[in-house]
Amino acid sequence: MKSWTKSITINAPIDIVWNLFNGSTEQMQKIMPQVVANEPVKVTDEGVGTVYRQTYQEGKRTQTYDVETIEFTDKAEEKKLKVGFQIAGMFDITAKYELAEIDENTTHFTYTATNNPLKWYVKPFLLFASDKVVVNFVDRVKKVAETNQRNE
């Protein structure tokens, strides 16, 4: 298994950042443009156990998989969302988004992604995997949240 973590300070209130992870396809596409659909399959009151059927498109190829909420916290000054899914029976992936309010206009964002190969022959690919995707993602969340803050 390989794991990457990146943190960044965002100049936007915690609720504006959190709204990007609210499950709506429209909000999600702002930070994950390859997600073309994100439909609820099962929604729980406590968040944990909620499942969304997500469709991801890269070039002409699309993949659909179920994304399950593993961890969920929605407090005023602290918010967490951890989801897990499998891609093509090849990788078990988790993504954890942690938000902490620094002050009313500033949020600390930490993103942790893990990738666990399910087949022995894909393990070598992880040896060469970098944190570029994770770095680009936190930068995109910062840019979108700060743009949304200015437009509010």
The C-alpha atoms of residue 118 and residue 86 are separated, in whole angstroms, by 9
Pairwise CA distance, residues 123 & 101, whole Å: 37
d(C-alpha 29, C-alpha 8), whole Å = 20
Number of helical H runs and strand E runs in the chain: 4, 7
Domain of 116?
Answer: 2-151
Task: Say if residues 47 and 74 touch (Cβ distance below 8 Å).
Answer: yes
User: How many domains are there within the chain?
Assistant: 1
> Which range is least confidently modeled, 25-29, 77-81, 109-113?
25-29
Residue 132: which CATH number?
A: 3.30.530.20
The H-assigned helical ranges of the chain are 14-19, 25-31, 123-127, 132-151
* Averaged pLDDT for residues 132-150: 91
In this prediction, residue 152 carries a pLDDT of 66
Distance CA 121, CA 106 (A): 44
Q: Which pLDDT band, with edges at 50, 70 and 90, does 22 fall under? A: confident
The DSSP output letter for 13 is -
Residue pointed to by tokens 């620094």: 102
The per-residue pLDDT for 7 is 97
